[in-house]
Amino acid sequence: MKQSKWKEILTSNQMFIVYIIVVLCIAISMKTPAFAEVSTIITLARALLVTLCFAICEMVVIISGGIDVSFPAIACASLYIPICVFKENDIDNVVLAFVFAAAIGLVIGIINAVLISLLQIPPLIATLGVSSITQGMLLTFFGTRQISRLPSTIAALNKVYLFTYQSKAGNNYSMTALILVPIILYIVIYIVLKYTMLGRGIYAIGGDANAARIAGFNVVRLQFIVYMFSGVMAGIAGMIYCVLNKAANPLNLMGSEMMIIAAVVVGGTRMSGGHGTVLGTILGVVLIGLIQNNLIMLGVPTYWQTFVVGAVIVVGTAITSLKELAVQKNQKV
């Protein structure tokens, strides 16, 4: 009994991702010994911070049976508009900046929810349209110019560190305090999805909206909660991105949605909805992040880097799919 449980864990989808990650780490360390240091964790945490925030939103949306491609546009609007307004009026307040960003995200999230839940527009089309509208309005009314001089207390948040590590080579690596945001977020989402009626409801409507409705879940309400949450988090993540880069750019995040959806799917979330775990998403993000951020260390020539990233996505997802097929076959027998 115990043995079979172990076997189940060791051959689970998530463990396969772990295996790939371990192999990659060993390969990179062999090529570049500097990789096997605490500095790697700090660098990776910094590089994946915003991706992690986006990925958990996307995961929740996909579990609920939808998809959201508007979060980069929401994030761009939520980081650019507050900074523009603050610069214009000489406001300099970190808390207000995040509240403002979250509010913009909330409003756009509600628009998404109305289109998807009330007007029954397919989520992909609805969020694609909202993304375009948001980006268009942003560029028309607020401009395209990057703002590099942030209000000073907001810029100062960039230099709030939990600790600093000095590598063997003498370089300094500092862990940004903002890493606490995704950590807390993931713990909360883990608890909500696993232990609350709200969380079970999100899985239920993703699995079969009709069945969920008959079972007594308020589908519209749940969809509103999902898209509002996604909007708010995208807004906050946008502001974090702005702080980390010490610059408000209205365009930079655009185009990042597909890689994040890929990370979520590699992590075992099914596009058809109803399935997905917090741990899987973390692993998916780490795998893709590891690849994207260590190709130079791995010595992959520039021309091949995009290819390698694509290959990892395909292999990562194929494992999940193959396992799925195997399960289906077993059921038939």
Partner 1 sequence: MKKRILSAVLGIAMVATLLVGCGSGSSDDSSKKDTKTEDTAKDDSGEKTAADYKIAVVPKMTNLAWFERMEQGVDDYNEANGTSVEYCGSPEGDGQAAFVEGLISQGYDAICVVPFDVEALDPVLAKAKEAGIVVICHEASTVENMDYDVEAFDTLEYGAHLMEKINELSDGKGRVIQTVGALTSQSHVEEAQGGKEWAEKNAPDLKVDDQPIVSDDNQDTAYSKVKEALTADTKHEIVGIQCAAMSETPGAAQAVEELGLQGKVHIAGTSLMSVCGEYVEDGTVELMSFWDPALAGQAMIELAVATLNGTVGEDTLSLPVEGYENLTLEGKVYTGSAWIDVDKDNCNDEAYDF
Tell me: does residue 145 bind partner 1 (CB under 8 A): yes
Give how many residues touch partner 1 by CB under 8 A: 41
Shortest reach from residue 311's CB to partner 1, in Å: 17
**Identified binder of partner 1 from the candidate list 10, 118, 143, 153, rule CB under 8 A:** 143
Q: Which of these ranges, 68-76, 196-204, 272-280, 300-308, lies near partner 1 under the rule CB under 8 A?
A: 300-308
Whole-number Å distance between alpha carbons of 90 and 111 = 30
Closest to partner 1 by CB, 216 vs 255, is: 255
Tell me: does residue 153 bind partner 1 (CB under 8 A): no
Q: Which of these ranges, 16-24, 74-82, 165-173, 217-225, lies near partner 1 under the rule CB under 8 A?
A: 165-173
Tell me: does residue 321 bind partner 1 (CB under 8 A): no
Which of 56, 46, 93, 92 is closest to 234 using CA atoms?
56
Tell me: does residue 29 bind partner 1 (CB under 8 A): no
Task: Return the sign of the alpha-carbon dihedral for residues 154, 260, 186, 78.
Answer: positive
First to last CA, the chain: 22
HSE-up of 71 (CA within 13 Å, CB side)? Answer: 34
Tell me: does residue 169 bind partner 1 (CB under 8 A): yes
CB 287 within 8 A of CB 266: yes
Which of 314, 273, 280 is closest to 52 using CA atoms?
280
Tell me: does residue 136 bind partner 1 (CB under 8 A): no
Q: Report the relative pairing of strands 172-176 and 161-166 from DSSP bridges.
A: antiparallel
**Identified binder of partner 1 from the candidate list 33, 124, 311, 314, rule CB under 8 A:** 33
Give helix 180-195 / helix 278-294 axis angle, nearest 10°: 150
Closest to partner 1 by CB, 11 vs 172, is: 172
Shortest reach from residue 162's CB to partner 1, in Å: 14
Tell me: does residue 218 bind partner 1 (CB under 8 A): no
Shortest reach from residue 252's CB to partner 1, in Å: 5
Which of 325, 121, 312 is closest to 223 using CA atoms?
121
Shortest reach from residue 292's CB to partner 1, in Å: 8
Extended beta strands in the chain, E state? 161-166, 172-176
Which of 101, 102, 88, 83 is closest to 150 using CA atoms?
83
HSE-up of 315 (CA within 13 Å, CB side)? Answer: 14
Which of 246, 286, 247 is closest to 266 using CA atoms?
286
**Identified binder of partner 1 from the candidate list 2, 5, 168, 329, rule CB under 8 A:** 168
**Identified binder of partner 1 from the candidate list 11, 172, 196, 272, rule CB under 8 A:** 172
Tell me: does residue 141 bind partner 1 (CB under 8 A): no
Tell me: does residue 36 bind partner 1 (CB under 8 A): no
- Residues in contact with partner 1 by CB under 8 A are 32-35, 39-40, 43, 47, 139-140, 143-149, 167-174, 241, 244-247, 249, 252, 292-294, 296-297, 301-303, 305
